[in-house]
Amino acid sequence: MCGIVGCIGNGAVEVVVEGLKRLEYRGYDSVGIAALSKNRLKVVKDAIKVEQFLKRYDLSEISDTRLAIGHTRWATHGIVSEENAHPHSDCKGRIVLVHNGIIENHHELRERLLKRGHRLRSDTDTELIVHLVEENYKGDLLEAVRVAVGSLVGSFALAVICADKEEMVLAKRMSPLVIGIGDGMIFAASDVVALLERTKRFLFLEDGDCARLIPKGIQVVDSESGREVERRVETVVWNVEDAEKEGYPHFMLKEIYEQPRALQQTIGAHIDGANLSFRQANEVEQLFEGVRKVSFVACGTAYHACVVGSYLLRDFTRLDYSCDVASEFRYAPPPLDEKTVLIAVSQSGETADTLAAVRLAKERSARVLAVCNVRTSTLVRLADLTLFTLAGPEIGVASTKAYTSQLAVLCALFSHLATFAGIGLDKRDGELLRKGLLGLPMRVRQALEAAEEVTDRISKEFFRSQTFLYLGRKYNFATAYEGALKLKEISYIHAEGYGAGEMKHGPIALVQPDYPTVAIVVRDSVYEKMLSNVEEIKARKGPVIAVSSVNDEKVKRLTNFIMEVPEVSEPLYPAVCVVPLQLLSYKIATLRGCDVDKPRNLAKSVTVE
């Protein structure tokens, strides 16, 4: 959450502004910039979005500076206000910093600093850090930051500058931070997306690193010992066009329509179409050698992918399993040992709760398999093996193309485990699933085409509804949850996902003529049961919007609206059924005037607990 960007070099403020625009999806409560100009630090900040900020403040005064840092905030400590916006300054305004993360011992630090006479102007945990740096600053900023972070409990990515010199100091613990290397310029950012226009060459800091950036170079030290450490320069493959809207009104819509391509790339990376084999067979077989149990863990949409994964596991293997939301995992972890594979699914690879679950599993000797979209993420570094989704950068806060790509990777994985001696249930089933996967991008394209016109009509009919119920069974149990999540997060309409069999145990009490139900009724093994649920809702005069397989007259007769999807094999249905639901949520949200790419209170990538 929050975004950090910094630059040393000509046009530093321009780079920072550009980066802030790209990073706004990470948090958009407030924005701020600090720049070194004529030996003085100038700070401009406000509790508004970047676009308004650039209209309100004239940055020309600092446009010739060669050192600048900037921040977009997602509030954790302290309300959304100008005082709480970053950058924060020390007592004399000689040192300023921006911070992502959460400082857990902030109460204790605040008391200590107040007793020592520091003037604190905000309610944030961040401001305390800059005063700690001030206390330790004796002419060497790197040393001051290194000593200061020793007093911090919690997570942080920091960029610090001082009026005395053209240098920037960074520090990282459990919050992402990268250094970009440009032509005569050095950059810092919490996410490579901020800098794709400027460079493809990055140095990824690790937990416990502190770094000094000066025009002539980079020095990285271990924050505890102060000893220099080496970090490799890596080249990222994403292009700047991947992070642009390319004519679409919102990133979310662009990403919904990118799904066939994202799936094509992802599936191609895992299945060799020529001989229908799973490409990472050897690594996966090694990882699963002697394994008895899989523990799935993730948050939000990625958790819904895990739920689908857990059904795949039950249908295709004889393995035992658990499936947890990562935010609950550490309170009562399932049994984990060297015979367990923890499957952690994450678009960003930086979700704090998912990473905490992975660390715990590693402590208990479990093997870790990541499904992740970001090659350079912390999750990938922690995992024993990663199966990548090749969805490209996902900027829209609501996850779409990353989700369907995660489903494809899990299908590919379990299609192979199905053929694996001692684990798999039926080799033939695994092969059929792989074959079906190769056709999935085309099926998703058909689902998109079919959904265009009908989602217009349905959204116009229902965008004023107060609440929605989503029902599904078996594989589409997860689709019901995901459909409801998509709607609530971008339209602010209350929506509940339910296993349809649970309906009679409570939610049916809600059904009445103004309470729409979205039912996923496709030709799969639970089709008849879903039809019965729809009958029950109709008997109580509840309007039903169905996701159905093509040409299903029965469903057509029973329901008010249908969104048709092409027929696919049962495990692949979640990937096609979610498509009209994504589009429907998007259209309802835009009709309600919601800012789809920057939903209220949300931010992409939850890097704090």
CB nearer to ligand F6R: pick between 126 and 354: 354
604 is catalytic: yes
Q: Give the DSSP letter of residue 190.
A: S
Measured from the CB of residue 177, what is the shortest distance to ligand F6R in angstroms?
17
- SS3 category, 104: coil
Which is catalytic among the residues 2, 210, 411, 594? 2
CB nearer to ligand F6R: pick between 280 and 354: 354
Q: Residue 439 in contact with residue 446, Cβ under 8 Å?
A: no
Which is catalytic among the residues 21, 172, 488, 604? 604
Go through 363-384 and write b for each residue having 16 or more CB atoms within 10 A of its CB, e for each that does not.
Answer: eeebbbbbbbbbebbbbbebbe
Measured from the CB of residue 585, what is the shortest distance to ligand F6R in angstroms?
10
Cα-Cα-Cα-Cα dihedral sign, residues 547, 548, 550, 556: negative
Q: Residue 278 in contact with residue 434, Cβ under 8 Å?
A: yes
216 is catalytic: no
Q: For residue 499, which amino acid is it?
A: G
Which residue in the shown chain puts its C-beta closest to ligand F6R? 300
Q: How far apart are CA 384 and CA 369, in angstroms?
A: 6
* Residue 162: alpha-carbon gap to chain centroid: 33
**Site for ligand F6R, rule CB under 6 A:** 299-302, 346-348, 351, 354, 398-399, 485, 489, 605-606
- HSE, CB side, 13 Å, CA atoms: give it for residue 526: 19
Distances (CA, A) of 415 to 26, 280, 290, 400, 432: 35, 12, 18, 23, 8
Nearest to 170 by CA among 120, 133, 200, 138: 133
CB nearer to ligand F6R: pick between 30 and 605: 605
The angle formed by the CA atoms of residues 101, 106 and 111, to the nearest 5 degrees, is 155
CB nearer to ligand F6R: pick between 317 and 491: 491
Cis peptide before 87 (omega within 30 of 0): yes
Residues in contact with 55: Cβ distance below 8 Å, sequence separation at least 6, in sequence order: none
Token pair for residue 125? Answer: 């945990």
Cis peptide before 516 (omega within 30 of 0): no
CB nearer to ligand F6R: pick between 259 and 605: 605
Q: Quick one: CA torsion of 177, 134, 122, 79, rounded to 10 degrees?
A: 10
Measured from the CB of residue 448, what is the shortest distance to ligand F6R in angstroms?
18
CB nearer to ligand F6R: pick between 90 and 489: 489
CB nearer to ligand F6R: pick between 41 and 302: 302
Please identify every residue annotated as catalytic.
2, 604
